[in-house]
Each structure stands twice: as structure tokens, then as C-alpha cells.
Amino acid sequence: MPDLKTVLAEITAAMRAETTRGAVADYIPELRRVPLDRFGIAVVLRDGEEVTGGDADQPFSIQSISKVFTLTLALGRAGDGLWRRVGREPSGDPFNSIVQLEHERGIPRNPFINAGAIAVTDVLMAGNRPRETLAETLRFLRFVAEDDDIAIDEAVARSERETGFLNASLANYMRAFGVVQGDVEHVLGVYFHHCAIAMSCRHLARAGRYLAFNGRIPTLGAGIINPDRARRINALMLTCGHYDGSGDFAFSVGLPGKSGVGGGVLAVAPGTASIAVWSPGLDAKGNSLLGRIALERLARAMQWSVFG
Ligand code: GLN
């Protein structure tokens, strides 16, 4: 097996030199300002060893990667009853698409497209005030990432709300069908704020350990969720974590992964490693272009694909 440090150093150098880097998300000004030349990667192994490359300690907007953590928390609250309000199938459509909602009576295809994540946020709130739900989400992330400084970028959250007409449409549409049950403005507020959480690759990779290691964080001796639930969240990441690019991600990388329009990707090699990569340039489907390429190289070099 090649040496992980050497592999990450090679990948980081290659990604730094790459000239085709995709395009930074431009739907809100705060994301548009992020320099395209950034690249970071972090890997955390079962024994707690952390190997990093590039800008691994620079926080970025985790955006839709937050949907993995809100799903974890909402399942903790509602159990499998959550699946009455959200499906488990890949959508084959862009992350903010509304078309399937009409055919499917307001039930979103999966928890990782925007509609699904908004419904999950509603489940997670369940009578709580927005501030309480956000505090719970931050508390969880600070614990699993072992970093008390993880915070919400308020400027990003504000812009999300100012430009979030499509997300408001999705939420209202689901409210009409009773899939979203709480106050639409409150649910959207929490959704925009959890998307606006900023984290570094190192902290994101730490946060993904419970998914990589059967629901536990081995070095903390902490059980976060049961192994069945971790396995299922990983299955959803593999099938739905990259929207209409999920098939291609599974084909080229072969690991469960969740992307965000900030350019981050959280990926897990079950039993072996939790991985986070960040390159803000996106491909046409809104997934990090170099993030995928870097993960493809890493999974191949270390033979970490779940498909053998
Ligand atoms: N906050 C973004 C949105 O709702 C998240 C999308 C994403 O990361 N794909 O549009």
C-alpha cells in the first residue's frame, strides 16, 4: 500500500497545478468572492491519525454537506418515521429542482436535494424555535469535529435568504401537502443558516468519522449513532450525495460522498477513513470539479473504493 502522506502530497501538488478548475458558485456574492485557486484535503484514519494537504485548515462554506448532519440529528429525533416524509431514491435532477414534487405529492425524492433537506429541517425543528435547532446542530458539529469554534457565517446566511426564492417555493409547495408542517419562514431560516456553517477540511473529516467507523468515533470512545443508521446514511450519500452527478461520482470515486456548492466534499471509506476535500470551482452539476478528481486519485491509489 502506498504511503498516505506521499499520496496526499502528490494529489495536492497536482491539484494546485491544474488550470481547469470549474467555476465558483455565483448565486450569492459571498461565495463568488472565494478564490478559485484554493485546494485543501484532509484524511482521518481509525487510530485518529490526521493527514492533510494544501488549505486543509481554512474554513469554507459547507453548504449542502450540512444536510448529512441534519439528517443524522433528525433521524435521532423522529427515527424511521422520517421516511414517511422523505424518499430514498436518487432524483436525477438538479439540487434545487421542483418538478418531481408535483408528481409525487410534495414528498421529496431524498434528503440531500434541497426539498428533502428542507423537509428534514422541519422534522428536526419539531416544535423547537429556530435558535434552539441551530444551537443543537452547532453543538453536534463542535463535538464530532472536536472544535469549539465552528460557527455560522451570518453574511452567507443573509444572502441565502435574500436570493432564496426557489428554496422558498420548495418549502411552500411541501407545506401545502403537509410534508413541511412548521412555520415556513422559520424552517427556511434554519435551512439557510445550517448551509452557511463554515468548517475546514480537517474539521469536516473529523466530523465524518462516525459515518466511516460504524456510528462511532473510535478515538473518543463515543457512540454517535447505531451501525445500521451509519450504513444507511452512507448508502444515501453514495446514491444521492451528488444530485444528478451521483452516478458519475460512484463510477469514478466509488465512495459515499456528499458535496456542497461551497466546493467541499465529505467522503467516507467505511472502516478505514473519513475524508474531506475542498476546491471551490464547480462542474456543471454544482459539484466540486477538482474535489472529485482528487478523491478519484486518492481512492485509486489507496484502493479504498467500496466496490473492491
Ligand atoms: N444553500 C444552497 C441552496 O440551498 C445549498 C445547495 C448546495 O450546496 N448544493 O441552494
Q: Which of 73, 75, 16 is nearest to 41 (CA)?
A: 16
Q: State the cell numbers at 210.
A: 462516525
Of ligand 1's listed atoms, the one at least distance from the Cα of 192 is 1
Of all protein residues, the one whose alpha carbon is nearest to atom 4 of ligand 1 is 114
Pocket perturbation via mutation, ligand 1, pick of 67, 96, 244 by most ligand atoms within 8 A of CB:
96
Report how far ligand 1's centroid is from the alpha carbon of 66 (Å): 10
End-to-end Cα distance, the chain: 14
pLDDT at 40: 98
64 is catalytic: yes
Q: Are 258 and 68 in contact (CB under 8 A)?
A: yes
Cα distance between residue 240 and residue 298, in whole Å: 21
For residue 1, pLDDT over 90 is answered with no
Give the CATH fold of the 4-61+200-302 domain.
Beta-lactamase (3.40.710)
**Per-residue pLDDT tens for 141-190?**
999 999 999 999 999 999 999 999 999 999 999 999 999 999 999 999 99
- 243 carries an active-site annotation: yes
pLDDT in tens, 51-106: 999 999 999 999 999 999 999 999 999 999 999 999 999 999 888 899 999 999 99
Per-residue pLDDT, 127? 86
On the question of a common fold for 4-61+200-302 and 64-195, the answer reads yes
**Phi, psi at residue 60, to the nearest 5°?**
-140, 170
Q: How many CB atoms lie within 10 A of CB 271?
A: 11
CB of 114 shorter than 6 A to ligand 1: yes
CB 74 within 8 A of CB 58: no
- At residue 177, φ and ψ (nearest 5 deg) are -95, 5
Task: Write the pLDDT tens digit of every residue in 196-239.
Answer: 999 999 999 999 999 999 999 999 999 999 999 999 999 999 99
Q: What is the pLDDT of residues 234-256, one digit of tens each?
A: 999 999 999 999 999 999 999 99
* Ligand 1 geometric centre to CA of 244 (Å): 14
Query: What's the whole-number average pLDDT of the chain?
Result: 97
The closest-lying atom of ligand 1 relative to the alpha carbon of residue 286 is 9
Mutate to test the pocket of ligand 1, among 24, 27, 31, 64 (most ligand atoms within 8 A of CB): 64
Whole-number pLDDT of residue 171: 98
What residue spans define the domains of the chain?
Answer: 4-61+200-302, 64-195
Per CATH, the number for 64-195 is: 3.40.710.10
Distance between CA atoms of residues 55 and 50, nearest Å: 14
Atom 3 of ligand 1, residue of closest alpha carbon: 114
pLDDT at residue 27, as a whole number = 87
